[in-house]
Amino acid sequence: MERTLVILKPCTLQRGLVGEILKRFEQKGLHLTGLKMMQLTDELLDEHYAHLSGRSFFQQVKDSMMATPVIVCCYEGVNAVEVVRSLVGATNGRNALPGTIRGDYSMSSQENVVHASDSVENAQIELARFFNPKEICAWEPIAAPFFYANDEI
């Protein structure tokens, strides 16, 4: 099984959408193996968004991500990274298709409800950044056979 990181951004908390968003991943069949609330720091965001550090909006992104605590999640499933990215939709909420999380709940490229890992490699790096190994719980949902065929898991 593959694991991926999802961060429910401050706008999600402010708008009271946490339960709705978690429900979407759960209903799809991904299972939650890590969940915590945390206040992001400037240093952690410098590391997480290092690829944006030269962009004019970098400080704005960091300020937005520190506005309130965030909910950090680890989801597990077959092709979890790809599945989560499909559920989340395009980065800019105005371009995200209806039925995706951003398409249904976002009108912004920054206040776009969630962060989701964009590759298996980045998911591993990001999960290690936000969780220590003891905070991720390996467990097998009894409903797994109803989400996958025998040869898929």
List active site positions.
115
Residue whose tokens read 């800019």? 92
The two tokens of residue 30 are 């991904």
**DSSP H stretches of helix in 49-150:** 58-65, 80-88, 101-105, 120-130
Report the alpha-carbon distance of residue 89 to residue 98 in Å, rounded.
Answer: 9
For 135, left (φ over 0), alpha (ψ -120 to 50), or beta?
alpha
Report the alpha-carbon distance of residue 87 to residue 135 in Å, rounded.
Answer: 24
Torsion of CA 43, 63, 68, 3, to 10 degrees: -60
The two tokens of residue 16 are 């009271």
Residue whose tokens read 């898991």? 153
